[in-house]
Amino acid sequence: MAINGVKDQLIEVLERDQESLAILIFEELKKENPQEITDAIKERGITVLKELVEMIRLVDESKSDALAWGYRMGKFSVSQGNTLISTFDRVNTYKRVIWTYISDWLKDKNEESSFLMATLLETDTIFNTIISGFSKAFSDNAFNELKESEEKYLSISAPIVPILPKIGVLPLVGDLDENRARVLLDKTLITCKDLRFENLVIDLSGTYKVDEIVTESLLKLVNSLRLIGIKPILTGLRADLSQQMILKGISFRGIEIYKDVMQVIMDFKNKNS
């Protein structure tokens, strides 16, 4: 029989025997990880099999579909709290059962070993592509979790502290990089609006290095505060820091500058006494 004819018969058999295949897969999965196989799990397993069989049928056209499908399944696996290793193990179980099924069926048909090998290699290609999709989904998730953790850390490293009614202080400590500057700007504006500050003291006493990122971030922060109706106040501008800013052409004309935060507190208390 022609190769295409045998392949068509194989696909028909796989489609016909999906429930039997699913039972074999569930039995293998249960050996590896004993758990109750619910109706929902069975239904999902049969759906997965249908999609796998369709990709095997259209192997030459479905490589990009297999990658996208693997990515989608990988995201689902992540959402269920599964690890990449456990997901790979389940995929390999599907692959092993389907391989054995195809191999036994072709041997019963007395097909040539070359056709058997070609069919198994095609199936292997599909599974390898699916695994690439899984890997990408887990890699993206790990990157996103790392980014979220970094932003939480950066957010914590820029605390805004209320010091008087409608006045807060933002102590800038250490070096600023692009990520910290971005989080700093976003968090500062949101916090100031949420706490309804009318004044924000930006304390620079913990800043020792002035580079392009620091100057741009400071200017952007000052201008953004003004745009939302909050008055920026600078403190902690040491002589060396002031000189560095002057050399870089930075001017804070129109902005109140105090020696330190305590001086701001005393001045505001005197104005309101």
Planar angle of CA 77, 26, 61, nearest 5 degrees: 60
- Residue 166 CA neighbour count, 13 Å, CB half: 8
Which residues make Cβ contacts (< 8 Å) with residue 50, sequence separation at least 6?
A: 15, 18
Instruction: Give the percent of the chain with pLDDT over 90.
Output: 10
Residue 27 φ/ψ region, left for φ over 0, alpha for ψ in the -120 to 50 degree band, beta for the rest:
alpha
Question: What are the structural domain ranges in the chain?
Answer: 3-147, 161-271
Domains 3-147 and 161-271 share a fold: no
Look at residue 156 in the predicted model and tell me its pLDDT. 46
Confidence check: pLDDT of 71 > 50 = yes
pLDDT at position 224 is 92
Cβ(93)–Cβ(32) below 8 Å: yes
pLDDT at 88 over 90: no
- Residue 91 contacts residue 134 (beta carbons within 8 Å): yes
pLDDT confidence tier of residue 2, bands split at 50, 70 and 90: very low
Which one is the CATH code of 3-147: 1.20.120, 1.10.490, 1.10.10, 1.20.144?
1.10.490
Give the pLDDT mean for 79-97.
Answer: 81
Tokens for 136? 């990408």
- Give the per-residue pLDDT at 28: 79
Classify domain 161-271 at the CATH class level: alpha beta
Residue 232: predicted pLDDT: 93
pLDDT tops 80 at residue 228:
yes
194-218 pLDDT, tens digit per residue, is 889 999 999 888 877 767 777 788 8
Instruction: Give 43-68 pLDDT, tens digit per residue.
Output: 777 777 777 777 766 655 556 777 88
Instruction: Say which residue the tokens 């006493």 belong to.
Output: 205
Q: Is the pLDDT of residue 90 over 70?
A: yes
Average confidence score pLDDT of the chain: 78
What is the tens place of the pLDDT at every residue in 97-148?
887 887 777 777 665 566 666 667 777 777 888 888 888 888 888 888 777 6
